[in-house]
Chains A and B, each alone.
Chain A
């Protein structure tokens, strides 16, 4: 999917400061590098700033300091719609498909930035990859089940053959079985060569598929390491116990 001579780092942020209002930074100086082909998961308690970080990278939250580079190019100031042309695909946490449009139209919208003669074939390739979606392409996306919606959102993001795929909590609101399906798909997509960044609350599942993990707390990177060993870290476990308790408390 990527040229052999492509640089080994896909995405970096340098001392990134970002937030919804200028005097209230949510992301407070984050240095991050994503290596080509890797599967990175971003963890952290509720309100840590995980969504804000990836939204800033996608161009949806104002950046107040630092820089974002994609494939060596500075994209800090570019609007969201040009970042996807440069190879950055983002699947937001909520409202990540157009529910009033059909499945086919959702994919056509994404394909619009490809050369005209490539669009049809690329959409067909995605239907092959996601047979669930190809059964009734004229169906309104709003009628899909939770798992199918996530699949459509991922398929939509992959239409442009991105150099990096960033997903914000694709497991939210899905049953454990469907979460398993979704994560298996993400792992397969990553193995096919797509660099993947996955923001997750579902720590166990995320550490199961990711190669490297990063823990965000209050807008800063608190921990970073191989996914396989991060779960054993007592400090991290402690942090997550707390996070899980608060989540359960909120759910009840």
Chain B
């Protein structure tokens, strides 16, 4: 068993974790499993692809690699734009689809089915615009650095790990230390009482979409940078996202991040031991095992 799986697992786990934070927030505050969340990952990746391509076209200097990294300033700038655009997309989907359904106070299954439909539409639209051929932010090659212990990682990979850690910590602090975070936790526990104490639920719902979609965009950009950009990239991550959100305990941001790393490591280990064709089964096995053994997740409280 090569120690390299530790690096590979942590990196893909960090992206799963960022996506799972959005899933866990939507699940605990809007109270439904949003199967369209994976599409925010793909759209985030393509928004950044389009913007960075445009920036590189306008100014060749922006495409020149920064220091040891494979990309130029066009990508971080595009990433910021993509976070805003993906958040806007999520708010739009909520306004035209989920909000009208919520206001009818229908069954949760209706929201879940609607999210399936939204996922399909969003994915097909992406494929229509960009085709299903893989794209890349950059074609520059990177030399992996030795980390010791037989492990290697590229500067891009290390940067992604660092950014994921900082973002997860920031969201955790937002939730535990700020007024909007307090309101989010309140709505998650009891929406009716939240209204009574004066919380405007609509602003909390907006915050959930902005945070969830923003983090999904970042996860998509990282996946695009380290692997490749494809319209199905979000769909492929969907099962790992839900496995991590449930393993971490619904509503727990640190739980989602840590569980994301666990799922990523388990996938890397499985690929090493059994072969790449078993990767997709890992998240499924984890999901079923946690639902049977400890449905509240590692960090959740029993109902």
B-contacting residues, A70-107, CB 8 Å: 79-81, 84-85, 90, 92, 95-101, 105
**In whole angstroms, how far apart are the Cα atoms of A79 and B202 in the complex?**
11
Is A59's beta carbon under 8 Å from chain B? yes
* A92, A97, A108, A109: most-surrounded residue (chain B CB, <10 A): A109
A81 near B192 with CB under 8 A, answer no
Residue in B179, B185, B200, B201 whose beta carbon sits within 8 Å of that of A100 in the complex? B185
B192 near A60 with CB under 8 A, answer yes
B198 near A108 with CB under 8 A, answer no
Is A113's beta carbon under 8 Å from chain B? yes
B198 near A113 with CB under 8 A, answer yes
B164-187, CB under 8 A of A: which get 1 and which 0? 000000000000000100110110
List chain B residues, Cβ under 8 A from A113: 198
B191-227, CB under 8 A of A: which get 1 and which 0? 0111111111100000000000000000000000000
Give the distance to chain B from A134, nearest Cβ to Cβ, in Å: 19
Q: A59-B195, A80-B195, A100-B189 are in contact. Are A112 and B183 (CB under 8 A)?
A: yes
Interface size (A, Cβ < 8 Å)?
A: 25
Is B2's beta carbon under 8 Å from chain A? no
Q: Look across to chain B and name the residue whose beta carbon is closest to the beta carbon of A99.
A: B189
Residue in A84, A109, A156, A160 whose beta carbon sits within 8 Å of that of B182 in the complex? A109
A145-178, CB under 8 A of B: which get 1 and which 0? 0000000000010001000000000000000000
**In whole angstroms, how far apart are the Cα atoms of A98 and B301 in the complex?**
15
B193 near A81 with CB under 8 A, answer no
Is B190's beta carbon under 8 Å from chain A? yes
A60 near B189 with CB under 8 A, answer no
Is A58's beta carbon under 8 Å from chain B? yes
B196 near A109 with CB under 8 A, answer no
Give the distance to chain A from B12, nearest Cβ to Cβ, in Å: 32
**In whole angstroms, how far apart are the Cα atoms of A160 and B199 in the complex?**
13
Name B's interface SS: helix
Is A110's beta carbon under 8 Å from chain B? yes
* A85, A98, A108: most-surrounded residue (chain B CB, <10 A): A98
List chain A residues, Cβ under 8 A from B301: 100
B199 near A81 with CB under 8 A, answer yes
List chain A residues, Cβ under 8 A from B194: 81, 109
Give the distance to chain A from B169, nearest Cβ to Cβ, in Å: 20
Q: Look across to chain B and name the residue whose beta carbon is closest to the beta carbon of A79.
A: B195
B190 near A95 with CB under 8 A, answer yes
List chain B residues, Cβ under 8 A from A92: 192-193, 196
Q: Look across to chain A and name the residue whose beta carbon is closest to the beta carbon of B193.
A: A95
Give the distance to chain B from A115, nearest Cβ to Cβ, in Å: 14
List chain A residues, Cβ under 8 A from B190: 95, 98
B186 near A60 with CB under 8 A, answer no
B185 near A101 with CB under 8 A, answer yes
Q: A59-B195, A60-B196 are in contact. Are A81 and B186 (CB under 8 A)?
A: no
* B186, B194, B196: most-surrounded residue (chain A CB, <10 A): B196
List chain A residues, Cβ under 8 A from B185: 98, 100-101, 105
List chain A residues, Cβ under 8 A from B193: 92, 95-98
* B185, B195, B198, B201: most-surrounded residue (chain A CB, <10 A): B198
**In whole angstroms, how far apart are the Cα atoms of A60 and B179 in the complex?**
24
List chain B residues, Cβ under 8 A from A112: 179, 183, 198-199
**In whole angstroms, how far apart are the Cα atoms of A105 and B189 in the complex?**
13
A104-133, CB under 8 A of B: which get 1 and which 0? 010011101100000000000000000000
9 A-B pairs with the lowest CB-CB distances in the bound complex, closest first: A80-B195, A84-B198, A113-B198, A81-B195, A110-B197, A100-B189, A81-B198, A81-B200, A109-B197
**Residues of A that sit less than 8 Å from B by CB:** 58-60, 79-81, 84-85, 90, 92, 95-101, 105, 108-110, 112-113, 156, 160
**Residues of B that sit less than 8 Å from A by CB:** 179, 182-183, 185-186, 189-190, 192-201, 301
- Given contacts A60-B192, A105-B185, A109-B182, 9 further A-B pairs with CB under 8 A are A79-B195, A90-B196, A92-B196, A95-B190, A100-B185, A101-B189, A112-B198, A112-B199, A113-B198
15 contacts between A and B (CB under 8 A): A81-B201, A85-B198, A90-B196, A92-B192, A95-B190, A95-B192, A96-B193, A101-B182, A101-B185, A101-B189, A108-B182, A109-B183, A109-B197, A110-B198, A112-B199
